[in-house]
């Protein structure tokens, strides 16, 4: 059974700070790792899909890495802006394509 843990649960940073959070998983028996960004009252927005150990993806100021051997993925935000405030969800995709989610990291960026 796949299990996904995210830390920290919440994070408050100042505008301009860089930050990162972690998605950890005890088993590498999955097919892909997804990161989503979810703002309240909006659809969760797909950020990255990663499949291979050592994968690195980047979209603007946001990047992510995957280490399947040690069981974690990091999401980095460089120079946080207030509009980055959201909940960031990590999910593992299993063989049947269903997603198993972590509990999310809630980020608040203060102006």
Partner 1 sequence: EPEVTQTPSHQVTQMGQEVILRCVPISNHLYFYWYRQILGQKVEFLVSFYNNEISEKSEIFDDQFSVERPDGSNFTLKIRSTKLEDSAMYFCASRGLAGELGYETQYFGPGTRLLVL
Residue 73, H or E segment: strand 72-77
d(CA 38, CA 83): 12
**Identity of the residue, 42 or 69, whose beta carbon is nearer to partner 1 in the bound complex:** 42
Q: Is 7 in contact with 24 (CB distance < 8 Å)?
A: yes
Q: Which of 21, 30, 36, 88 binds partner 1 (CB under 8 A)?
A: 36
Q: In a 3-state reduction of DSSP, which class is residue 24?
A: strand
Start-to-end Cα distance in the chain = 41
Shorter beta-carbon distance to partner 1: residue 10 or 18: 10
42 binds partner 1 (CB under 8 A): yes
| Total of residues contacting partner 1 (CB under 8 A) | 24
Q: Which of residues 81-100 bind partner 1 (CB under 8 A)?
A: 89, 91, 93, 96-100
**Binding footprint of partner 1 on the chain (CB under 8 A):** 4, 32, 34, 36, 41-44, 46, 48-49, 51, 89, 91, 93, 96-104
């Amino acid at each position: 059974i796949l299990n996904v843990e995210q830390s920290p649960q919440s994070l408050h940073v100042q505008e301009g700070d860089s930050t990162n959070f972690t998605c950890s998983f005890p088993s590498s028996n999955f097919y892909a790792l997804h990161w989503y960004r979810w703002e309240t009252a909006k659809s969760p927005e797909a950020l990255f899909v990663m499949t291979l150990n050592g994968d690195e993806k980047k979209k603007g100021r946001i990047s992510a890495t995957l280490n399947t051997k040690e069981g974690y993925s990091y999401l980095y935000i460089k120079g946080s802006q207030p509009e980055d405030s959201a909940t960031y969800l990590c999910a593992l995709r299993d063989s049947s394509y269903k997603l198993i989610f972590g509990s999310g990291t809630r980020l608040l960026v203060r102006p």
